[in-house]
Amino acid sequence: MSTPPILLDGEPATALARFAFGEARDDAIRVPLLRLAGPRDETWAARGGAADVREGEHEGVRFCENGRWLLGSLRLPAADDAEQAAFETYGRMRAFLSRRPYPQLLRVWNFLDRLNHGQGDAERYRRFCVGRHRAIAEPGFEATLPAATVIGTHEPGLHLCFLAGCTPGLQIENPRQTSAFLYPREYGPVSPSFSRATLVERTLLVSGTAAVVGHVTLHAGDARAQVAEVGQNLRALLDHAARHHFHGERGRWRAQALRVYLRRVEDLAAVLPLLPALAPGAPLAVMQGDISRADLLVEAEGAWVFETAA
């Protein structure tokens, strides 16, 4: 079963790369999580012909590119020191991109083992944030942060997947949520370096979105209530982006794909009926993964395209 692609820059489009959920495949970037429901893969497509798409590998980075966009992945097989692992992989990704014509980092996915191990500021997610920040901080960097996802995996190491482009995207923040890069000190020594979404042409690439309102976790322990809160966060973000970037245009967002990460497999039956409403009509993939804060049970991300009313 093949689902409709995420269109990066309109139609006609050709497949640029695929993500495979769970299983290893030669033709896809692997998401190292247990797939619980929905499609086995997700296709990203861009304008241009199949002849423009090249695949390659360079210094451990596997990639697909078409001259305008590049989707890549790399993996550090052991990440016992989460800060060092983040610093190293982000350094490698940046070095790789600096030699190719895609200077703009638009979207990053991070999969780290034992994400919530460690107490307080020693928690691996917080150490990861420190290493990431160390690798990318420079004057003004907070105005061009990519959209991102950080999920805990049971497979050892740090896996990074990323989308880069030759032109910048627009960073979008969520009026219902404190920008993550402005989170107060209580969440870690360094705030998380990501934006809530990146607008690429008419496509909105939405970061992992959880039941965080302001900077506070809501509904700890209640997966269904957290899904409802995620839905409100997604709606606030989409409304805000439409008002600011497509104002005066008659149109609406069409969901292209949704991924949902659940900390506890046992919540699947209870939350599954609530998920289609987050992204009506879109392929919906559900995977097991740990979330960055121990009190979060669910996170959702996806892509939406703004379509003009006929």
Residue among 5 and 146 whose Cβ is closer to ligand 3EB: 146
Residue among 46 and 76 whose Cβ is closer to ligand 3EB: 76
* Residue 208 touches ligand 3EB, criterion: CB under 6 A: yes
CB of 53 to ligand 3EB, least distance (A): 28
CB of 119 to ligand 3EB, least distance (A): 19
| Binding test (CB under 6 A) with ligand 3EB, winner from 45, 172, 212, 282 | 212
* Residue 207 touches ligand 3EB, criterion: CB under 6 A: yes
Instruction: Give the long-range contacts of residues 138-145, CB within 8 A, separation 24 or more.
Output: 141/193, 142/181, 142/193, 143/171, 144/104, 144/168, 144/171, 145/171, 145/181, 145/193, 145/194, 145/195
| Binding test (CB under 6 A) with ligand 3EB, winner from 192, 231, 289, 302 | 192
What are φ and ψ of residue 89, in 5° steps? -70, -40
* Residue 194 touches ligand 3EB, criterion: CB under 6 A: yes
> Segment contacting ligand 3EB (CB under 6 A): 82-90, 93-101, 207-215, 272-280?
207-215
Nearest to 172 by CA among 226, 125, 106, 255: 106
Nearest to 223 by CA among 261, 269, 271: 271
* Residue 87 touches ligand 3EB, criterion: CB under 6 A: no
| Binding test (CB under 6 A) with ligand 3EB, winner from 61, 105, 136, 150 | 150
Q: Exposed, middle or buried by CB within 10 Å (0-12, 13-18, 19+), for 184?
A: exposed
Nearest to 150 by CA among 121, 183, 107, 212: 107
**Spatial separation of the C-alpha atoms in residues 36 and 22, rounded to whole Å:** 9
User: At which residue do the structure tokens 């409304």 appear?
Assistant: 239
**Spatial separation of the C-alpha atoms in residues 54 and 103, rounded to whole Å:** 18
Residues 246-305 that bind ligand 3EB (CB under 6 A): 292
**Spatial separation of the C-alpha atoms in residues 230 and 59, rounded to whole Å:** 38
| Binding test (CB under 6 A) with ligand 3EB, winner from 28, 33, 148, 287 | 148
> Segment contacting ligand 3EB (CB under 6 A): 33-41, 91-99, 148-156, 243-251?
148-156
CB of 30 to ligand 3EB, least distance (A): 19
Residue among 194 and 253 whose Cβ is closer to ligand 3EB: 194
Q: Tell me how many residues contact ligand 3EB (CB under 6 A).
A: 11
Residue among 230 and 255 whose Cβ is closer to ligand 3EB: 230
Residues lying near ligand 3EB in the complex (CB under 6 A) = 148-150, 180, 192, 194, 207-208, 210, 212, 292
